[in-house]
Amino acid sequence: MENKFDAIILGAGPAGYECALYLGERGKSVCLVDKSEENIGGTCLNEGCIPVKSLVESAHLVQRMKEYKDVFNVDFRIEYSNAVKLLEDQKSQLRQGIISRLKRSKVNMIFGKGMLVTNNAVRVDGVDYFADSIVLATGSYPKSLSTLNIDENKIISSSGLLKLKNLPKDILVVGGGYVGCEFASLLNYFGSNVTIVEFLPKIMGVEDDEVSRTLLREFKKRNISVNTDSEIVNVQNKDEKILVNFKNRKSNLVKEALVDIILVSVGRGPNTKDLNLEAINAKTERDYIITENDFSINNSNVYAVGDIIKTPMLANVATREGIFVAKKILGETECVNYELLPRVVFTDPGVGCIGLTEEDLKSKGISYKTYRAFFKGNGKALIMGQNSGFFKVLTSEDEIILGAMFIGPMAYELVHIMAIAMQSKANVTELKNIIYAHPTLSEIIFSALV
């Protein structure tokens, strides 16, 4: 293998491998660097989106089998370890798919730890490689709390949780954001006793209040203990378990929970410390790399994309940024529009939101109209046995859509109907004109507007 390439990419997550594929498929010589073959696909494939959604899928099937127990005389024994095995198989299948595509596109893969030497050179385990363009896409790690250090033994991150072979009987989830809520929802379906401790006054902090309240109500129905405005005050081992004390910040009331595992899901931090950023005079802010609008660092031939910059830390955003930079290197143009970014959560009920929330509109002083319908009035949702939740759309006074939120079945797919409506600046009349197929969940849009 030569050690000179058109582009070297550090990090084989969604930003990195999509960038590599785009360049490789168009004849560029590309070198993709990550720690090991098992890291290809990044957090998304290995420790995030994919394995979590695989567990969600299994968990929902468990729940459906419980609901249909009598209809089909179903008898089953939850083997969590088998669900984990299934997710490992699915990960491996998807990873092999990416590796095949990388090979077909003649992308060179080098395994080791990469760092910058100059703006044309990186060093991987002591060997230097050279390129016209360098793309940094090294992703992120799960953060600890100052009071609660992740040891991946009993105090674990989402990565650690996805490595557990057995279901924890009792688990405390620190952080009721998207990730915490997804794990709480799926572990509860598998049969864990789940306690959420959230510092903010509501779960899913930035989301629309009504969505947050609805999810809270559904979680309570499912006997998930949700403690908002709360923080951990003490953690101690007790026999094989952990005794956790947490305090309500308003009432100062202290509660305790005896659990097997503490899952810390309080956000992620960028993997930038070992990149030797000084070599190219890159500026950072709280470890995030500061880039120009085209993702270049100081308008140079070095770019940063994905979780290491200050855009939303999501795989789909990373993918777009990776493709953007690949096109930039090829002299093509692309746009990344963060305003039309669906916010989805794979809880049950699921959440899919886009655009502004009611709270956003109020705080901006924008007057708006609200249209709303509930899944309990939707025939398909009733047939699915999943008729909790609602659809809400917020419009300007002249009925242009400003924001929309689904909480209910398939919310994470339905939100894309509203995404294209907003992208096209559609108004309420245009949304109403469609003769929604029957019986579908999508009909809830018409029900809200009629």
Which one-letter DSSP state was computed for residue 192? -
* Interaction residues for a copy of itself, span 125-164 (CB under 8 A): none
Tokens of 220: 């309570």
Rank residues 196 and 353 by Cβ distance to a copy of itself and give the closer one.
353
Rank residues 65 and 206 by Cβ distance to a copy of itself and give the closer one.
65
CA distance 435 to 175: 41
- Distances in Å between the Cα of 281 and the Cα atoms of 89, 307, 322, 441 are 42, 20, 22, 52
Least Cβ distance, residue 64 to a copy of itself (angstroms) = 6
Specify whether the CB–CB gap between 274 and 10 falls below 8 A: no
3-state secondary structure of 338: helix
3-state secondary structure of 185: helix
CA distance 366 to 360: 9
Question: Site for a copy of itself (CB under 8 A): how many residues?
Answer: 83
Question: 4, 66, 96, 97: which one contacts a copy of itself (CB under 8 A)?
Answer: 97
Rank residues 184 and 417 by Cβ distance to a copy of itself and give the closer one.
417
Residue 307 assigned as binding residue: yes
Question: 335, 365, 367, 397: which one contacts a copy of itself (CB under 8 A)?
Answer: 335
Specify whether the CB–CB gap between 9 and 19 falls below 8 A: yes
Burial classification of residue 123, based on how many CB atoms lie within 10 Å of its CB (0-12 exposed, 13-18 middle, 19 or more buried): middle
CA distance 382 to 405: 20
Which one-letter DSSP state was computed for residue 400? B
**Residues contacting 355, CB < 8 A, separation 6+:** 339, 340, 394, 401, 402, 403, 404, 418, 422
Least Cβ distance, residue 48 to a copy of itself (angstroms) = 10
List the one residue out of 324, 313, 293 whose CA is nearest residue 135. Answer: 324
* Interaction residues for a copy of itself, span 43-72 (CB under 8 A): 44, 49-50, 53-54, 57-58, 61-62, 64-65, 68, 70-72
* Interaction residues for a copy of itself, span 102-121 (CB under 8 A): none
* Interaction residues for a copy of itself, span 341-370 (CB under 8 A): 341-344, 352
Check binding of 433 to a copy of itself (CB under 8 A). yes
List residues with catalytic annotation.
438
CA distance 212 to 218: 10
Rank residues 122 and 313 by Cβ distance to a copy of itself and give the closer one.
313
CA distance 67 to 56: 16
Check binding of 431 to a copy of itself (CB under 8 A). yes
Rank residues 226 and 431 by Cβ distance to a copy of itself and give the closer one.
431
* Interaction residues for a copy of itself, span 305-334 (CB under 8 A): 314-317, 319-320, 323
CA distance 50 to 313: 15
End-to-end CA distance of the chain: 64
Check binding of 78 to a copy of itself (CB under 8 A). yes
Least Cβ distance, residue 92 to a copy of itself (angstroms) = 11
Check binding of 420 to a copy of itself (CB under 8 A). yes
Residue 336 assigned as binding residue: no
* Interaction residues for a copy of itself, span 11-40 (CB under 8 A): 14
Check binding of 90 to a copy of itself (CB under 8 A). yes
Question: 2, 126, 252, 338: which one contacts a copy of itself (CB under 8 A)?
Answer: 338
Check binding of 412 to a copy of itself (CB under 8 A). yes
Question: 27, 201, 267, 379: which one contacts a copy of itself (CB under 8 A)?
Answer: 379
Bind-site residues for NAD(+): 175-182, 198, 267
